Structure 1
Amino acid sequence: MICCLNPDCPHPLNPDGKQFCQTCNRPLTPLLRNRFRVIRVLSDEGGFGRTYLAEDMDKLQDRCVIKQLAPKFQESWALSKAMDLFQREAQRLQQLGEHPQIPTLLAYFEENTYLYLVQQFIDGQNLLKELQQKRGYSAKEIREILLDLLPVLKFIHERGVIHRDLKPQNIIRRKSDGRLCLIDFGSSKQLTARVQLQMGTSIGSHGYSAIEQIRDGKAYPASDLFSLGATCFHLLTGTSPFKLWTEHGYAWVQDWRQYLKSAISDDLAEIIDKLLKKDAHQRYQSAEQVLKDLVPKQQPSLSAQAANSFVILPPTQQPSVPRKYALLRNLFLVGSLIMLLVLGEFFYRQSHQLGINVSSGFGQPNNTPANTDAMLPQSSKIPLGNFYLAHTFKSPSRSVLSVAISPDDKTIVSNSGDTIKLWSLATGQEISTLTGHSDRVNVVGVTPDGQTLVSGSEDKTIKLWNLARGQEIRTLDGHSNSVHTIAISPDGKILANGSDDKTIKVWNLTTGEEIRTLRGHSSWVRSMAFSPDGQTLVSGSRDKTIKVWNLTTGKEIRTLDGHSQTVTSIAITSDGKTLISGSDDKTIKLWNLKTGEEIRTLTGHSGGVRSVVISRDGQTLASGSGDKTIKLWNLKTGEAIRTLAGHGDGVQSLAFSQNGNILVSGGFDNTIKIWRLSS
């Protein structure tokens, strides 16, 4: 079926192949912006436009939501104001969509005189429908809902955004992980109300909205918290606040407890009491205040964690545990963290004895979070420390040894057992699986033009793939042992790979012909990187050394000694002056690439350093370690800027997006994590 985009069409669905709507006779648009196929109408915004369900043809028909701006009022002020607010809404959603529980903005454009916002589709069920099936929530479930939603409200309020229409219909429980997602930031209903505000139209939903919204058209963080309290009341009692507001105005909030079907604890009742205060000044003023009262006082550290749960420790889903207990289980897991830290180092040391060492040095030229955010002027800088955990998704394999990002910042590539997985960077959804290797894939990389994917495996081979089509191009044979590291020259013409057979092979990527074999290491080759001019190759080995090679002659230039264990990762700054090496000896060393002199040693990780990636300007470093953390460093001063925690086991691989706003990490905990910069 094809959907008519005339906002006034009473029956917009048409059979495929039609060029004109069979109801209103308007021309039909098969693909908006040659990308989005509209399936059906989700809602009508009453004289302002419509909201549609669509498919994103550029992302393997991923579903998305399209909001249309088609205002009927003709006053020049109102029309201009509507367009201005709609554009501002797009900018705001671009910022807010970085949060994993808020839909991502996919596009904003004008076509056929209408403006369109395209957002990620959240596959799940809203809480109103869930309530109709459950017929009521327990006090424990209400606590879980508060713990899941309050950090989201904290996030948007800190960015100066008020939702204004928080209610069960606008809260969706996502099917994939059970998290609650906040939708509909009012880009339609709010705009209609605001441009008509001079005629006395209020903003929000009666019963759920605070008095200052309904009476004065003003909203504050405390206004959203009133709506959250009204939502909890509805879910807890099954009684609609709209019905009570219609019959009693705001009087119902003073004696809301009479509608309870069963008793609840005094502390939860007091929290709802304060959320539902009629006077905004008597209400909670921030989501953080609510969290402090919600979490038991004998565990003050949990309050801070709950307030930032999307940053550090998101819920880990396991099939054997019901969704509704996910948050409760995570709070219990925090209590076990000390024990895990002690045991983690022991098990990690055991993994070293098995020789599980991987490099991701091919990603070092990418920008880092020291660069500008896409939503700010080019002269603006965002502090590197402003990272939060945007997505976590599981790989089917036991561990994620290598991750890479395509140059267009659309696709994450990772190993997964003897296969390769392609994931959407925007949503974390799996795109496809590439099969062909006969044993575990150890390392993956993407050429600078984004056309070719390279993979190295325990099966002793390297495979080249067409990334767009997911088809194998050729297999490179020649090693007598497993391939653990690859490096691709900056011009995309030369491939180098290191093997457990102690050799490095250099290949012509265009023809697949072997150029030469480099010999010199006395043990496994585990890390490599090209210099920016493509003339020099640097390799790190289990023999604890770093070797610098002249690619033109194939001769060794020098050997760098200093590490006491395997050199697991290599990177070179974009100016070609500084070499960075990470090692199982828990240190990171900086070297003068031209002279081979050691500049400094960075210490701070309590486990082996598994991956290092650096900024294009050579000033900032990200390192992943067996201690389960990622550290961000100022390379000029050697100062540790921030530690990112969240992985449940060693971090094996890191990659930065081209725009520098995203860091992707993979680890032994079987997860891939997407970290984003926030403004």
Structure 2
Amino acid sequence: MICCLNPDCPNPLNPKGKKSCQTCGTTLVPLLRNRFRVIRVLSDEGGFGRTYLSEDTDKLNELCVIKQLAPKFQGTWSQKKAMELFAEEAKRLQELGEHPQIPTLIAYFEQDNCLYLVQQFINGQNLLKELQQRKAYKPNEIQAILLDLLPVLKFIHDRGVIHRDIKPENLIRCRYDGRLSLIDFGSSKQLTEKVKNKSGTSIGSHGYSPLEQIRDGKAFPSSDLFSLGATCFHLLTGVSPFQLWMEHGYGWVNNWRQYLRSPLTPEFDGVMNKLLQKDLNQRYQAADEVIKDLLPKQPLALPPAGQSSGKLSSVPQTKALPFRYVLLKGLVLTCALILLFGFSDSWYQQYHRIQTSLLSRLKQTKHSSDTGEAVFIQPPNHPIESISLANNFKAHSKYVVSVVVSPDGQTIASSGESESNIKVWNLNTAQELFTLNGHTQKVNAIAIHPNGKILVSGSDDKTIKIWNLTTGEIIRTLEGHSDSVQALAISPNGKILVSGSDDNTIKIWNLTTGKLIRTLIGHKFWVRSLAISSDGIHLASGSFDKTIKLWKLYQNEPARTLIGNTNTVTSVTFSPDNTTLASTSRDRTIKLWDVASGEVIRTFNGHTNTVTCVAFSPDGTTLASASRDRTIKIWDLTTGAVIHTLEGHENTVTSVAFTPDGQTIVSGGEDNTIKIWRVSTKN
């Protein structure tokens, strides 16, 4: 189909090959600027133009959005103002598009007496449509929205820009990762002395925009914060601020609580009330102030061994057991194991596994001659001394979505954002070995069989494909999910495949035969991460419903639900000894969970944006985490301290993995690259 660019055409879609529109007779343009193919109309701008979904032929037909300005009334004030706002939006996108939650400007040009602005396409829906489907949001979901958007506002305010039109329609939730993007900078204003001190043109949306903006045309960072508060009020109550403004003017903000379905916590009530102050001097003045009031007071970290912080922890502490008692307990456990399993090979295997777990815990303690109690110390086993970037190469035409390392540590497999294939690389030389073609849409997840000869991939095309890594041929295709396949895990014995999907289900497959064994239903939203313990007993799943579920791999019901994240769970992984589960979240934290009890052992805070994934080192002493803040952090699992921060990616780091020997870290990012990092340890 080819789309007519006449903004008044009632039926703009035409069959391919047509020279003029079959409805209005306008000459059809196959490619704007010999590059952009317009697919269909996204929205109509009321005679001033339209917004179109398009393809960028210079970028493998990557989707983009084209905004058209084609005013009818040449030379009028309205036409002049529209052109100013249009140019202003292009300028703002060029300045601010480096932020991952603001669309990137691709092009800005004039053609056939129309102006065109081309920007990044955000695959998702705006919060108004989301509200219409959901009816209302819970208070903790509103807090998560605030914590997602406030750093974006800080980013634009720090650069002197006021958005001036924040409302649910201008906030799009990305389908792939759930993060919110701020769009429509046509009303934005540079925060200059002129704007600060003088009246200007009133721009904004009634009900969402504050008094000083609508009445006086003045805009401040606090003006955007009012709009954000009004947006959150709308999502929380389902009541439109515009309708309230039509009935009561700005009087509604004095009585906003009467529209709540149930009272808020005192802390969150205070935040909402301060956001919605009519008097800008009584309102929050900066995004940082809101973030500070929203974030809970974090418990104090334990000081390193031999040091005292001089402060009391806000978390109740349990008196540590004397080291001799811990050691005696381990010896008793060993004797019990001998009695239980006998002196066979199977006993030794069981004993060795439990001994490894026990010693990994004992490594964290030492005897203190002063107190006779156990205290935490640094693991003595070859700590990481340095990490250096050894190689860096462009892997895909757009974002690297997923990267995995083969069991022998010699091969990397990766998938990209705008591609339906998988690329296989030599880890040491960074040479592409071959490309696996077969999916019809983006590949979201890949996993390599323990034997290193089979690769499994899951895609937006709702299928799972099993590949022969030697020949590159498809062994079989698994069908059964009703939406995108987003996560995969293979059991240690290579017989079981687990898949997670945006259809909210988890499916268990016989990897040898391709037969579906069972479907696990428990999550209320998209399943985006999976992990199987190395003993093949436990399965962990993370979801957009903010929960983690622990399953026995061969049971139909979850054994436990882990609750504690305030936002989407982005990844889960088991420690090498299977006693601990690590999870990451869009709430910017990493949590360690005790698998046996389901309790949080420790929470790591350090990233400034969504933590996308996490990986344990093979020896279980360190943890690597990747984030949208463009960094990889290496954490000491004993102290919870960051021991290294790896910088080099120019955009979100989407994947991180250790090689089996722990000597190399592989990462992939939205800067289209894969990076190879070499680890040096102290002897």
TM norm structure 2: 0.50
Of structures 1 and 2, the one with the larger relative CO (CA 8 A, separation 6+) is 1
TM norm structure 1: 0.50
